[in-house]
Amino acid sequence: MKILLVEDDDAIALSLTESLVQAGFDVDHVATGRDALTAAPVDVVLLDLGLPDMDGRDLCRALRTASGVPIIMLTARSDEFDRVLGLELGADDYVTKPFSFRELVARIRAVTRRAAGTSERTSDEQAAADRVGPLEIDRRTRRVLLAGEPIALTAKEFDLLAYLAIDPGAVYRRTDILEHVWDAQWYGPTKTVDAHVAALRKKLGDPRWIEAVRGVGFRLEPPP
């Protein structure tokens, strides 16, 4: 597995690179956002937010626009606002410094398993999930059309909608949604899901698109 480490602190980068290599990973290290944007394709990006040439969150957004590579943010910023914002911009996980190396490795493997699970779906499964009534979801371009009209979604709103669209009509538990759309180690409130569902309902123009199943979770299906 190849990892791109984006870290401007040489001491941290050297120590982390050595540990990752010992754990069996192949690591490329860059110290700037500019170099990260021109780096060769990798399996996972470990992204520090405090970069000398650009804000790490802007880099996260740019990387997510360019590809679906799993991104794990590494930062000393532990405020809930920063964590939520990072995830909204397309990060797959968020680890605050200082962190356990064993935990970091576990998170790397978790995000790559989820990414592999998505890519291994058959073309028929992909096609079935791409259209739900008048709703079209293009996973490759991350665009959503409703009756032919584009809908602007945040990164996590798209991820949530795409996850519910895998099996329209099926009920997905809040805990499963958090694990697959946010991350397996999410310890925040499950009401995060409700807030994103509310935003999606508003943008879809009809709350009946996403039905709440009391005590269980949510299902996606066209309004009657």
123-220 classified as CATH 3.30.572.10: no
- With residue 4 as reference, give the H or E element that holds it: strand 2-6
* Range 83-87 average pLDDT: 63
For residue 98, is the peptide bond before it cis, meaning its omega torsion is within 30 degrees of 0?
yes
Could you tell me where in the chain the CATH 3.40.50.2300 domains are found? 2-119
Could you tell me where in the chain the CATH 1.10.10.10 domains are found? 123-220
Judged on CB neighbours under 10 Å (0-12, 13-18, 19+), 81 is exposed
224 pLDDT band, cuts 50/70/90, is confident
77 pLDDT band, cuts 50/70/90, is low
Task: Classify 138 as helix, strand or coil.
Answer: strand
How many other C-beta atoms can be found within 10 angstroms of the C-beta atom of residue 1? 14
Cα-flanking dihedrals φ and ψ of residue 143, to 5°?
Answer: -115, 150
pLDDT score recorded for residue 144: 92
* CB-based contacts of 167, cutoff 8 Å, min separation 6: 129
84 pLDDT band, cuts 50/70/90, is low
pLDDT score recorded for residue 114: 65
Q: What token pair was written down for 14? A: 């050297």
Residue 187 has pLDDT above 80, yes or no: no
d(CA 8, CA 166): 39
Rg (CA), the chain: 18
Question: What are the distances in angstroms from CA 188 to CA 15, 174, 183?
Answer: 30, 12, 11
pLDDT score recorded for residue 102: 81
Topology (CATH level 3) of domain 2-119: Rossmann fold (3.40.50)
Judged by average pLDDT, the poorest of 50-64, 80-94, 125-139 is 80-94
If one compares 51 and 182, the residue with the highest pLDDT of the two is 51
CA nearest neighbour of 197 among 186, 208, 188: 208
d(CA 223, CA 211): 9
- With residue 204 as reference, give the H or E element that holds it: helix 191-204
* CB-based contacts of 184, cutoff 8 Å, min separation 6: 107, 110, 114
